[in-house]
Structure 1
Amino acid sequence: MSQSQKINTRPEHPILSLLGVLIGGFVGMFSETSLNIALPSIMKAFNIETGTAQWLVTGYMLVIAIVLPLSSLLTKHFSTRGLVRFGLLDFIVGSAISALAMNFPMLLAGRMIQGIATGLILPLMFSIAMRIFPPDKLGAALGMAALVIMFAPAIGPTISGIILGALSWRYIFWSFIIFLLIGLFIMEKNLTNVFEVTKPKIDWLAIALSTISFGLIVFGISFLSKNIATALIALVVGIIFLVVYIRQQLHAKTPTLDFSVLKTPEFLTGSVLVMLNFGITLSAMYLLPMYLQNGLGVAVALTGVVMLPGGIINAAVSFGAGRAYDKIGAKMMSRLGFLISIVGSAMFLFSNSNSSLGYIIVAHIILMIGVPLAMSPSQTYGLNSLDAYQSADGSAIINTFQQVIGAVATGIATILLSTGQANYFANGGHSAKLAFTNGAHYGFMFTLILAVFGFILAFRVHNKSKETVDVEETEEATSKDKEAVTE
């Protein structure tokens, strides 16, 4: 093994080692929601319809869903530094293409290139943290990663709104590049290789099944509000391929993605809680900016300002939740987080076209307290139940299905939004603002249902993972043996 491939899982400054990856992950997640508020401007610039413009979001998530399941395999074939370097440079190239786009196909191509980078960096962010931080600091480390996952999409509409108010949508992509260059510099200075490059035989059938299944599922979900027949066909075929893929991987000697980790109850529970949480975030962040503009008549730039307090609170709670996990565990935090999310979602459900901005800000803040309070502990609880060699697979699985659930949540929210508007007009309504408010209520009902399911499932969470309990029982037995010998 060459000098550049030497493994160092205990760097002198683990936070600095992870920081460049965190910045890349932040930009990737920020990118998921930042364009929602810019779509009207892009539609006007290229003279395209809503369905076409939506591909900037759909195409991005489609590529992420395809790349994510391959991340664990890639860590076995390429050095950690090489993978992160490629991801950051790839995102810079994609952002530059989008910023300079002369037509919509060029803009979309740039977005899909960015999706490759995000699909690679997101799981690396968690699996690298699992390798370089000691167990007693793992909650805080994964809390930083969770901060990226939750804070970035929450703050996306705010920053984009401010940029659009002063400049143009192209500067959203230029802002990506600034952060990515900083992340690349920090990565080159501090990141060590933490995965052993074993270069196992590549299972091309597994890669094909993974690409087809996740690609069709995300495509089908995204088309539910556009062409129901096409969407259902894609979903059914995608699910069939997914079942075949999972069965094939469970029986493979060297699986591309080790789905056997789902047999660990703590990991399965934690993973589902993370997915529900992400669904709450993306559905709310999709609905809220449009509700503010179309339901309450708030200007684009002011929309970003209204959502800023919630974004700041989200960051603070995300950071604190990871540290709190190290002290009190996931049990109470996950339950309390989903309970608070229920309150925030319900407040949006009871808002109307005459609601004050103060009411909306408070509801958003409450939701942004609840979501990260449950997110980091749930993710740490799940990943901490796995053995070290399973961390890359566990991270890839969580992040893959998280993106699928994100697409599901956004797709369902879109359908409910349209249904609510149609029902309002069908019942004799004439106000576009009231119609949009009614549609937003339908969408926020879905957000509330996700929070309720999460709260119920959180009662399956216990403060100690199976491995921790086993270790403590072993230590107790050893201690008793020593006492017996002494006596």
Structure 2
Amino acid sequence: MGSTMSQTVAPENGKTQHNEQSQTPKGAMKARVDVKHPNLTMLGLYLGAFLGMLSETAMNIALPDLSKSFGIGPGTAQWMVVGYMLVIGIVLPFTSLLLKWVPAKPLLLFALAMFFIGSLVSGFAPTSMFIVLLVGRMIQGISTGLVLPMMFAVILEVFPLNKIGAAMGMAGLVVMFAPAIGPTLSGALIGAFSWRAIFFFFAIIAALAFVAAAIWMVNAYALTRPKIDLISCIASILGFGGLVLGVSLISDLGFTWQVILILVIGVLAVAFYSYRQLHMANPIIDLHALGIRQFTVGALIVMMNFGITLATMYLMPQELQNGMGVKVAMTGLVMLPGGVVNALVSMLSGRLFDVVGPKWLVRGGLVLSMIGVILLMLAGPTTSIAYIIFAHVVLMIGIPMAMNPAQSSALASLPQHLSTDGSTILNTMQQVLGAVITAVATILLAAGQASSHTGGKAMAFVTGSRWGFIFALALAVVAFVVSFGMARQTKSDDASKR
């Protein structure tokens, strides 16, 4: 991308505008799409992404209640998580292509409507029909698969380059705070009402997001309508869907031949899909974004950091309840201070990125994440609640401190024609990795419990959790090593060269 660039926009009045992007005397650059209030433009996307990420962890606490209400075993109840992630894994890789065929605003409104409908279907599901509950949950997955990459892609269009860090900080707040607050909110709603209240809460927020998007969202992209390759579409569904389904089933079925077959099909399909995208004139996802070093390094750090989040958010509520005897509602309250700190750091780290760049923020955040995970590893059945809260707060400082600058650095390094593809790649990698991380954490939890022969069930669960925390620590170490490949310049410096 050169120092000036023209972007065609189709706004609400149907007229075409051309916004020249040029460098200001202070080194900042105008937004590619000129909107009066970019934060209002993003509001529907922020709320939709918040819902999607919130529901990933809110459902974990609800699974025991769902098992009792529907008379099903834990393995069947786990499909509320597996089915959701499966749909996300299938839908998400197509978002970049859809944005080239469908205007952004109608696509977002469709996505938010799907979450609203899915929430009501699950909320009103009769206890004699688990399939109805599951179908509603999978409909929600359609929305999350569309909204997450759209949020990061649209940020690059409606915010000036010198404010992208702050905007990414807000997006990071959505992505990181939602799963952190999920257990707290879920525990409170179940304690006060029932599991149905979770879905009705989702429906209310989805309705608000729909209204916000209908009022303020704009069509931020010119439609190019490239040719759709059916073979790539099939390979994408088999590949990403197979990987997510396969790794999600490991914790329930183990490495049976059926699970191994699903994984093999998934891996081969992804390999074929990737090769085909790199050799097509109009790929579904342009994987050439991975040839940009700053994007690839940032993407790897984001993946590892997201893995730390999912692993610890999966293990902590269970350890508190089963290893330390903490009640469900109290478990949510224990995790609340960390969630609040996460929100504050998410906003602050985005603004700091605009000033100092990503390198030292990312490394400092990863060091704090390591310390937080180590503190959690040292906890036992008799450890005080205050200690757990402190360890969680340290972790919740480190994760967003590294996540937001790494993500901003990765996406800001891309030329405009790769921005939607880069966002889709990043989010697809995160969701596939999320399924892998959850499966590995579950396997390690069970293996650790089996290895413990003293101290009773509580100590066995703590031991299993420690095995999972060691895995999270390994992810932090890998991310820290990768961070030394980050470019020295700040985002603004990098943008001025494009």
Change (3 A) 1:210 1:438: same
TM alignment of 1:129-278, pairs within 5 A = 129-225=155-251, 226-229=253-256, 230-278=258-306
User: Aligned equivalents of 2:455 and 2:495: distance in 1?
Assistant: 64
1:324 aligns with 2:348: no
1:436 aligns with 2:464: no
Q: Structure 2: which amino acid aligns with 1:211?
A: I
User: Aligned equivalents of 2:215 and 2:277: distance in 1?
Assistant: 37
1:51 aligns with 2:75: yes
How far 1:6 sits from its partner (Å)? 4.9
Q: Is the 8 A contact 1:348 1:360 kept in 2?
A: yes
Aligned match of 2:25: none
Query: Larger deviation: 217-226 or 110-119?
Result: 217-226
TM alignment of 1:34-45, pairs within 5 A = 34-45=58-69
Aligned match of 2:338: 310
User: Aligned equivalents of 2:170 and 2:338: distance in 1?
Assistant: 18
TM alignment of 1:390-405, pairs within 5 A = 390-405=418-433
Deviations 1:367-426 (A, max 9, x none): 1000000001000111111001211000000000100111111100000000011111xx
User: Aligned equivalents of 2:353 and 2:16: distance in 1?
Assistant: 28
Gaps of 5+ in 1: 475-487
User: Aligned equivalents of 2:293 and 2:100: distance in 1?
Assistant: 26
How far 1:24 sits from its partner (Å)? 0.4
How far 1:356 sits from its partner (Å)? 0.4
Aligned match of 1:417: 445
TM-score, with structure 1 as normaliser: 0.94
User: Aligned equivalents of 2:152 and 2:458: distance in 1?
Assistant: 42
Query: Larger deviation: 461-470 or 211-220?
Result: 461-470
Question: How well do the aligned residues superpose, as a CA RMSD in angstroms?
Answer: 1.5
How far 1:464 sits from its partner (Å)? 2.3
Q: Structure 1: which amino acid aligns with 2:269?
A: F
How far 1:142 sits from its partner (Å)? 1.1
Which of 63, 69, 76 is equivalent to 2:87? 63
How far 1:7 sits from its partner (Å)? 5.9
Q: Structure 1: which amino acid aligns with 2:471?
A: F
Aligned match of 2:480: 455
Aligned match of 1:445: 470
Deviations 1:186-239 (A, max 9, x none): 111111110112222111111111010001101111122223123222212211
User: Aligned equivalents of 2:242 and 2:484: distance in 1?
Assistant: 34
Query: Larger deviation: 444-453 or 3-12?
Result: 3-12
Aligned match of 2:7: none
How far 1:149 sits from its partner (Å)? 1.0
Q: Secondary structure at the match of 2:250?
A: coil
1:375 aligns with 2:399: no
How far 1:463 sits from its partner (Å)? 3.6
Q: Is the 8 A contact 1:6 1:193 kept in 2?
A: no
Q: Is the 8 A contact 1:262 1:268 kept in 2?
A: yes
User: Aligned equivalents of 1:118 and 1:10: distance in 2?
Assistant: 26
Q: Structure 2: which amino acid aligns with 1:261?
A: A
Q: Is the 8 A contact 2:412 2:495 kept in 1?
A: no
User: Aligned equivalents of 2:230 and 2:373: distance in 1?
Assistant: 44
User: Aligned equivalents of 2:433 and 2:16: distance in 1?
Assistant: 34
Which of 40, 44, 47 is equivalent to 1:16? 40
Change (3 A) 1:5 1:50: farther
How far 1:184 sits from its partner (Å)? 1.3
Aligned match of 1:480: none
Q: Secondary structure at the match of 1:224?
A: helix
Q: Secondary structure at the match of 2:101?
A: coil
User: Aligned equivalents of 2:458 and 2:379: distance in 1?
Assistant: 13
How far 1:465 sits from its partner (Å)? 6.5
Aligned match of 2:149: 123
Q: Secondary structure at the match of 1:35?
A: helix
Query: Larger deviation: 175-184 or 41-50?
Result: 175-184
Aligned match of 1:464: 489
Deviations 1:283-319 (A, max 9, x none): 1000000100000000001011110000000011011
How far 1:430 sits from its partner (Å)? 5.9
Q: Structure 2: which amino acid aligns with 1:457?
A: V
Aligned match of 1:297: 325
User: Aligned equivalents of 2:422 and 2:34: distance in 1?
Assistant: 21
Q: Structure 1: which amino acid aligns with 2:194?
A: S
User: Aligned equivalents of 2:470 and 2:175: distance in 1?
Assistant: 23
Aligned match of 1:32: 56
Report the count of equivalent residues: 470
Change (3 A) 1:422 1:327: same
Q: Structure 2: which amino acid aligns with 1:136?
A: N
Q: Is the 8 A contact 2:11 2:219 kept in 1?
A: no
How far 1:470 sits from its partner (Å)? 7.9
Q: Is the 8 A contact 1:147 1:319 kept in 2?
A: yes
Q: Structure 1: which amino acid aligns with 2:117?
A: V
User: Aligned equivalents of 1:371 and 1:6: distance in 2?
Assistant: 43
